Amino acid sequence: KARRHHVWFDADRLQPGHDWEAFIEMGLEHLAADKANAAVILLLTPHSVRRPDGYCLNEVARTLSRGLRIIPLMVVDSEPPLSICRIQWLDMRECIPIQAKEAFYRPRFERLLKAIEESQLDFEGSQQRLIKALQPLEFDADILSHIPRFTGRQWVFDKVNAWLQENSPRQRVFWISGGPGVGKTALSAVLSSRYLEVAALHLCKFGHAQKSDPRRVVTSLAYQLSTQLPEYEARLAGLDLDRLAQDDARTAFDNLLVQPLAKLNQPDRAIVILVDALDEATSNDGRNELASFIASEFPKTPPWLRLIITSRPEKGITVPLQGLNPFMLDTQAESNRADIKEYLWRELAPHLGNRPDASGLVDQILEKSEGVFLYVERVCADLQDGNLSLDRLDQFPQGLGGVFWQFFERQFPDVDQFRKDVRPALRAILAAREALPMEILQLLFNWQEEELHDFTRTLGSLFPVTTEGGRDVIKPTHKALADWLGDEDKAGIYFVNAQHGHELLGNLGYGRFMSAVTALHPYFVSFLPAHLVEAQVQRIAATAFRSEVRSLGL
């Protein structure tokens, strides 16, 4: 306050007998109105951030959902929630009580002021070194999008609990397998937020090169484990991380995980690594290097370390993991159907009201869903938007493919216009090796800003525009959608051939490479060779590109 900051302090604002939740919401809304000049200072203690019932976890989620800056202060030894484990924290443990340790407190307070006023979160020390070398990946947005709407799955949690309570389980890997849209990623998000045992999380992402790169998976997991296991953090701090983090995945796994973890005392609980949507890391040739890597390398880790993975039952996964027995998320299991019914009753409560046919309506939607959670999410959204009506259940789509077909039929009734104005851009979006930057889409078709926004509006929520790495990008909302569009038998007149998208991106990127290589977009620096090869352009072009960018140090 002496430095003219407006301070909202919970001890001042939260009075007995008042609605604490409402007051906290008001405080966060006040900050969100001026994000650039706002910050939330979070005091890390075991009581405040413990999983699953730390009293500050909800506030952390709300803060992240509003895009507000968090400055964590470590007050008492504790393990930061995974949602903020990539944010550096300022160590204040030696400063308590402040009155008796003014000499320790004063320089830390000055560093806190720099963090607040100059956005300098570089607190040096081992934390900064680990973040810089291991480059942990971010999954906050993915986790936060699933948790508020999550329903049921107690039957899955019961199985996970039983597995965690086994002292020496026959399988240290708990493999959850299920078809597209059954809710595997939502389940992973909740497991990571509820279970203290989950010490590191990785969500494979369709079309995201970094999140499908086994080496980046290893380094990101290593960093997350270091935030939950202080003894492991100390081991990593003694290594030449800048060199080791550049090794291939198997070498990095041995040097960064297997060897340091083997020297640790056994923790007081099971330590779990969670890898979600393993199938989304499958390459175009059907190989899944990450699955093969897990099958061969994970058994080398200490017996107290465990692994939860989720995936579709695809050959790229089932072949390398054939030594494991998967736990199936059966869409027709009564427990799964009961979860969907619970979700429908909750989400459709405003529409069902006191209708005498409410129970029958829910049962009919359940049957049309074919046991797929993604279906009921889309249907509930269409009901909210007025695209569907409970009075016309005959117009409801059948199954997930029906949802996609109905969306495209509604959005693009003029098929010729779809072929001319929409399909070319979808080819590029589906061919992209990670979410496609909007500026590249704009360059491909020479669009003005208005035309770019017109295009994205026509795609609705199935192709959301988000921000990743400070750039606006576009991607399909789910891998099931990309699979459907790429299957001519299912998508029919809306079929999109990604092969033509590789040609579009290859031609654009190579043309810009030839004219001004030093100004080449970062996306093309990373992925132009892959598009040239996929487009079956002579491999010499890709080779020449690689040689040139290396010589320029790009």
Q: What is the pLDDT of residues 229-238, one digit of tens each?
A: 888 988 888 8
So what's the pLDDT on residue 1? 87
Contacts 24+ apart (CB under 8 A), 525-534: 525/549, 525/554, 526/209, 526/433, 527/209, 527/432, 527/433, 527/434, 530/433, 531/431, 531/433, 531/502, 531/505, 531/506, 532/506, 534/284, 534/431, 534/499, 534/502, 534/506
Beta strands 305-311; 173-177: pairing state: parallel
Residue-level pLDDT at 12: 64
Residue 469 pLDDT: 72
* Averaged pLDDT score across all residues of the chain: 86
Report, in this order, helix, strand and coil percent for the chain, each rounded to 5.
Answer: 60, 10, 35
Rounded Cα gap, residues 273 and 8, in angstroms? 37
Q: Which of 274, 138, 141, 272 is nearest to 216 (CA)?
A: 138
* Model confidence at 364: pLDDT above 90: yes
Strands (E), 359-511: 436-437, 465-468, 471-474
Highest mean pLDDT among 118-127, 286-295, 357-366: 357-366
Q: How confident is the model at residue 220 (pLDDT cuts 50, 70, 90)?
A: very high
Q: Which helix (H) or strand (E) holds 308?
A: strand 305-311
pLDDT of residue 139: 85
Instruction: Look at residue 14 in the predicted model and tell me its pLDDT.
Output: 60
What does the radius of gyration of the chain's CA atoms come to, in whole angstroms? 25
**pLDDT above 90 for 168:** no
As a residue count, the chain comes to 554
Q: Positive or negative, the Cα torsion across 424, 426, 430, 434? A: positive
pLDDT interval class at 93 (50, 70, 90):
confident
Q: Given a cut of 60, is residue 492 above it in pLDDT?
A: yes
**pLDDT, average across residues 78-86:** 78
| pLDDT higher than threshold 80 for residue 474 | yes
Question: Which has more confidence, 23 or 398?
Answer: 398
* Average pLDDT of span 33-47: 87
| Nearest Cα residue to 286 out of 318, 264, 326, 254 | 318
Q: Largest Cα–Cα distance in the chain?
A: 77
**Residue 177 scores a pLDDT above 80:** yes
pLDDT value at 421 more than 80: yes
What pLDDT was estimated at residue 541?
Answer: 57
Tokens 């996306």 correspond to: 523
As a whole number, mean pLDDT of residues 56-60 equals 82
Q: For residue 15, is pLDDT > 80?
A: no
Paired sense of beta strands 271-276 and 198-203, if any: parallel
Mean pLDDT across 480-496: 91
Distance CA(390)–CA(271), nearest Å, equals 46
Q: How confident is the model at residue 342 (pLDDT cuts 50, 70, 90)?
A: very high
The Cα 247–Cα 318 span in angstroms is 27
Residue 543 has pLDDT above 70, yes or no: no
Q: Which whole-number Å values give the CA distances from 429 to 111, 116, 497, 529, in the listed order?
A: 44, 39, 11, 17
pLDDT score for 438: 92
How far, in Å, CA of 22 to CA of 59, rounded? 12
- What per-residue confidence (pLDDT) applies to 517? 66
pLDDT of residue 17: 58
- What pLDDT shows up at residue 381? 87
Going by C-alpha positions, the residue among 213, 187, 180, 209 that lies closest to residue 314 is: 180
Q: What's residue 478's pLDDT?
A: 83
* Predicted local confidence at residue 546, as pLDDT: 63
pLDDT confidence bin for 366, thresholds 50/70/90: very high
157 exposure class (CB count in 10 Å sphere: 0-12, 13-18, 19+): middle
The helix/strand/coil state of 327 is strand
pLDDT at 211 over 90: no
Mean pLDDT of 237-255: 89
Q: Residues 521, 525, 526, 528: is their CA dihedral positive or negative?
A: positive
d(C-alpha 289, C-alpha 249), whole Å? 10
What are the structure tokens assigned to 400, written together? 């997930």
Which region among 48-62, 179-193, 494-508 has the lowest average model confidence (pLDDT)?
48-62
pLDDT at 442 over 70: yes
pLDDT of the residue at 463: 87
pTM metric for this prediction: 0.74
Surface-to-core class of residue 490, CB atoms within 10 Å of its CB (0-12 exposed, 13-18 middle, 19+ buried): middle
Residue 68: per-residue pLDDT: 85
Label residue 19 by pLDDT band (50, 70, 90).
low
Region of poorest pLDDT, from 4-8, 78-82, 213-217, 318-322: 78-82
In this structure, of 40-49, 101-110, 492-501, the range with the lowest mean pLDDT score is 101-110
Tell me the average pLDDT across 105-116. Answer: 84
In what order do the strands lie in the sheet containing 305-311? 198-203, 271-276, 305-311, 173-177, 327-328
pLDDT at 534 > cutoff 90: no
Grade residue 62 by pLDDT with cuts at 50, 70 and 90.
confident
Per-residue confidence band for 554, with pLDDT thresholds at 50, 70 and 90? low
Q: How confident is the model at residue 530 (pLDDT cuts 50, 70, 90)?
A: confident
